[in-house]
Structure 1
Amino acid sequence: MSQPPSTSLKTGYAEVIGDPISHSKSPAIHGFWLEKLDIDADYRAAHVTPDGLADYFARRKRDPDWRGCNITIPHKEAALDHVEDRGELRASIGAINTVLRDEDGALIGTNTDAAGFYAPISGMDLEGASVAVIGAGGAARAVLFALKRAGVAQVALLNRTPLKAAGLLTAFGLQGQALPLDAPLPPAALLVNASPLGMSGQPPLPLDLDPLPADALVYDLVYAPLETDLLATARKRNLATVDGLEMLIGQAAVAFELFFGEPAPRDDDAELREILIR
């Protein structure tokens, strides 16, 4: 993927867009890394509504200081209509979470969510495993993309609209079943909440975790609040857990290097987490 010339990467700004956006911790993450590396650039949050998405990209494309953006809900799928899809993500993941502008001024979409999601569980043997995933939006697409490549055997995909969930399973070539949100969980080795349910300002995610085996792992992509009801319930059962900051920091690190031309200083993750949970 082509990038802006390296001599210009350490100036200007990048940002995160979404609706809502006030909950985002991305400015704190990127700001922390920019300060650690003494890079004279900025990272901001921008509230962009669905109706304003096309205008946002049109304006940023004309801004020579704009390095690119990260994308959060609800724009991860719709943003594909406003950028070049050189990596054929529409046909694979079906969503993007990062946009860059190359040296010719073209806006290029990419996705760092799949790598960010998988990094914390890369040591887990998922070959032939059964997993359960909540949600069928842009984040769920990245999760399913990663799980397919990890060789899982069965995916139970729970969503408000089971028909949409069934379409995703087919699109990713995954065996399993599409279920409504109130369906009982199967005895999965891994449970992933890839929906906004349980996030501050969103409806709760009431799940009975009793069907999960004692060695199951519960992974909640929600990070506001960091200690979600789902994770609290899992810990009461002494189940292993992964919180939303793991994926958030992982995907941000990939995007940071694309925006600013330097690897994120991941040796400082412990300090960063302390800042983010204050």
Structure 2
Amino acid sequence: MSAYTTILGEARGRPFAAIVGWPIAHSRSPALHGFWLKQHGIDGHYGRLPVEPNRAALEELVAFLRDTPNARGCNLTLPHKIDIMPLLDRIEPAAARIGAVNTVIKQPDGSLEGRNSDGFGFMEALRYNAPTWRADAGPVAVLGAGGAARAIVASLVDAGVPELRLINRTRSTAIDLGVAFTPADGRQIVVDHWEDRARALDGVTLLVNTTSLGMTGKPPLDLDLAHLPHSAAVYDIVYTPLETGLLAAARGRGNRCIDGLGMLLHQGRMGFEAWFGVAVDVSAEQRRAVAADLGA
């Protein structure tokens, strides 16, 4: 039985969307969207669609979304956020600037639009969990230079951060990211060497980890926090586990800490509202429900 047959059976003719990736069993998106469906009494479905990382498989996905009347769209996770873009009918300007899509919205005429809600989700969770942090207060350090980092760097630049320090194991990738998002008003994006990552934390107001280091099944993030101000916030977008080694170390020295679950919850709002026509908010009850689904 194909994944498409499975999700059609689960939807039973109801409007549906899905999280698409490879692999996909670990995703908690069904739990967060399922919470909203139940909360608002919507007769819809949100499931999982495993799609292999090749063009033919993505073309099959796009055709399925276009041709299935009750399909409303999908979310995209690794490794499809970039490769899907040429196959869509339209890319929202913000997503085109970031160079990645995490949400596909099926329009009334059947066309597919790509959007990116990662930056929105990141900033909303930051504002909620660190309400005293100000974008213009000082430098921000970002670890990593992948798709999530692109959305986060764009949102931090737009928020008015005066200096961004990019730190990535492959320095050339960080340089490309810095060139892409350096603002025209003279604010700086500095690319530091991975070996100098500890010293790059000197004086920052916010440290963001966008890498997979510290995630369950991945190597730990080796980072000395001695140079990090105790007043700085520390934000790890990893959510498995919720308390990463980085957050545990930062919490132990008194830094305000933000885990990746808030970003996951808030980034889902854009798609849900477009697919099911209801405005939604993130609540403490929903966070507890998704955390329980994680086994946290």
TM-score, normalised via structure 2 length = 0.85
Q: How much does 1:180 deviate?
A: 4.1
1:153 offset after TM fit, Å? 1.8
CA deviation after TM superposition for structure 1 residue 256, in Å: 1.0
Identity %: 43
Map 1:239-258 onto structure 2 (within 5 A).
239-258=255-274
Please, what is the CA RMSD of the aligned residues? 1.8
Paired letter, 1:85: R
Instruction: Report the CA distance between 1:184 and its aligned residue.
Output: 2.5
The CA distance in 2 between the partners of 1:96 and 1:180, in whole Å, is 28
1:129 aligns with 2:138: yes
Answer yes or no: is the 8 Å Cα contact 1:89–1:95 preserved in 2.
no
**Structure 2 equivalent of residue 178 of structure 1:** 191
Which shows bigger deviation, 207-216 or 116-125?
116-125
- Size of the alignment, in residue pairs? 267
1:151 Cα deviation after fit: 1.1
Name whichever of 62-71 and 52-61 sits farther off: 52-61
Matched, 1:72 2:53: no
Q: 1:143 aligned to 135, 152, 176, which one?
A: 152
Query: Is the partner of 2:81 in helix, strand or coil?
Result: coil
2:105 pairs with one of 100, 103, 121? 100
Q: Indicate conservation of the 8 Å contact 1:23/1:224, yes or no.
A: no
Structure 2 runs not aligned, ≥5 long:
1-12
Q: Is the 8 A contact 2:21 2:80 kept in 1?
A: yes
Name which of 206, 215, 220 aligns with 2:231.
215
Give the superposition deviation at 1:215.
Answer: 0.4
**Equivalents in 2 of 1:208, 1:49: separation in Å?**
38
Q: Please list the CA deviations of residues 139-183 of structure 1 after superposition, one character each: whole Å capped at 9, or x if unmatched.
A: 111101100011112212122211111111111115232234343
Post-superposition offset of 1:53: 2.3
d(CA) in 2 for partners of 1:240, 1:55: 45
> What are the residue-to-residue correspondences of 1:32-43 with 2, within 5 Å?
32-43=35-46
TM-score by length of 1: 0.90
Q: Write the deviation string for residues 67-123 of structure 1: whole angstroms up to 9, x where unpaired.
A: 111111222222212213342245411111100111111110011111110013334
CA distance in structure 2 between the partners assigned to 1:53 and 1:160 by the alignment: 29
Cα distance change on mapping 1:265 and 1:172 into 2, 3 Å = closer
CA distance in structure 2 between the aligned counterparts of 1:193 and 1:46, rounded to whole angstroms: 27
Residue pair 1:222, 1:228 contacting (<8 A) in 2 also? yes
